């Protein structure tokens, strides 16, 4: 079992901008496997490499009920976003037990590489579109709670910092 440690907000490493993957090789494929295992065990529906302290542009997503439809996005890039926006309640493995409403484009087109290094494009809507945008935000050093009001953000930081101190 290669479960990776997930960084918890407000860890400053969550704000590092991930670098593009130069070559999709066995090291990256192992990272994808470890990230998927970590995401499923957590349990979550998406995980960015930044969240496991690897600052390369890799995300894994599985929004299926059966938890057997893993999607891998290496060097993902949103090439189009709808002007229509929708509010979704989001959560995050790096911000445990915190859920809040975030407004995002309701449809996106994304271009990426798969775990074989082959390029693909995907049109996504609803939950998949939200998840892709959420995970790409991680690669760009942004956490979903940073879309919230400064007051909500400060309350969340305080709550999570207290939780960390109580474990020490």
Binding site for Fe cation, by residue number, is 92, 134, 138
Opening angle at CA 22, ends 37 and 2, nearest 5: 20
135 is catalytic: yes
Name the catalytic one among 22, 115, 135, 146. 135
Q: How far apart are the C-alpha atoms of 59 and 32, rounded to whole Å?
A: 8
Annotated active-site positions, please?
135
């Amino acid at each position: 079992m290669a479960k990776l440690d997930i960084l918890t907000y407000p860890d400053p490493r969550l704000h590092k901008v991930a670098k593009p993957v130069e070559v999709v090789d066995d090291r990256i494929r192992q990272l994808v496997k470890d990230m998927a295992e970590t995401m499923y065990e957590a349990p979550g529906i998406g995980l960015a490499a930044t969240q496991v302290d690897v600052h390369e542009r890799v995300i894994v997503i599985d929004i299926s009920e059966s938890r057997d439809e893993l999607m891998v996005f290496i060097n993902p890039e949103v090439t189009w976003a709808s002007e229509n926006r929708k509010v979704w309640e989001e959560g995050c493995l790096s911000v445990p037990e915190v859920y809040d409403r975030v407004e995002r484009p309701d449809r996106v087109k994304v271009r990426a590489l798969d775990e074989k290094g082959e390029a693909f494009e995907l049109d996504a809507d609803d939950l998949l579109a939200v998840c892709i945008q959420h995970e790409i935000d991680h690669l760009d050093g942004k956490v979903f709670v940073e879309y919230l009001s400064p007051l909500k953000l400060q309350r969340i930081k305080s709550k999570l910092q207290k939780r960390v101190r109580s474990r020490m």
